Structure 1
Amino acid sequence: MFGERHDLHHEFPEHAELIHRLLGSDQEFAALYKQYDDLDAEILDLEQKGEPVSDEVAEEMKYRRVQLKDKLYAMLKSHAG
């Protein structure tokens, strides 16, 4: 949705405890999480401020966010089992 946070705790509430645990124990997960969170905040900021940005740039940012979320979800699933 436009103007909404897409943080991992909101996206995957069933994995909240695992997210917290991996942030403290898995450097790769923590680095990807930070990239995802920073990009999500940047997208939200652009949407809320109405900053002029081309549709192409906005869609590229959202695509990168989805790629990061997919990687993070795959990591969550591999640690959940």
Structure 2
Amino acid sequence: MFPEYREQISHLKVHDEHFARLFNRHNELDQQIKNMEAGIVPTNGVAIEHLKKEKLHLKDSLYTILRKTTNA
């Protein structure tokens, strides 16, 4: 995710607790979705869609933080 911000992400994960929480939650959701889609975890389409929407919202928030801290 966001390879052009790799260094900034590494820095923020260590120095910005809020960013680190969002980043970790995004990764957790990504794994949950993969497990559901692979049939490892039983689910229904509604649950997957809910998680995907939450993941997208987190990605937007992370991108906003990255843009703000890069332009600061």
Same fold by TM-score greater than 0.5? yes
Give the corresponding residue for 2:37: 47
For residues 45-81 of structure 1, the C-alpha deviation after alignment (integer angstroms, 9 at most, x for no partner) is 1112354422111110100000010001100000111
Aligned letter for 2:6? A
For residues 5-40 of structure 1, the C-alpha deviation after alignment (integer angstroms, 9 at most, x for no partner) is xxxxxx210000000000010000001111111111
Identity of matched residues, %: 32
Root-mean-square deviation over aligned CA pairs:
1.2
Aligned pairs (5 A) from 1:46-65: 46-49=36-39, 51-65=41-55
Which of 62, 65, 68 pairs up with 1:75?
65
Query: TM-score with structure 2 length normalisation?
Result: 0.90
Distance 2:36 2:45 in 1: 12
Gaps of 5+ in 2: none
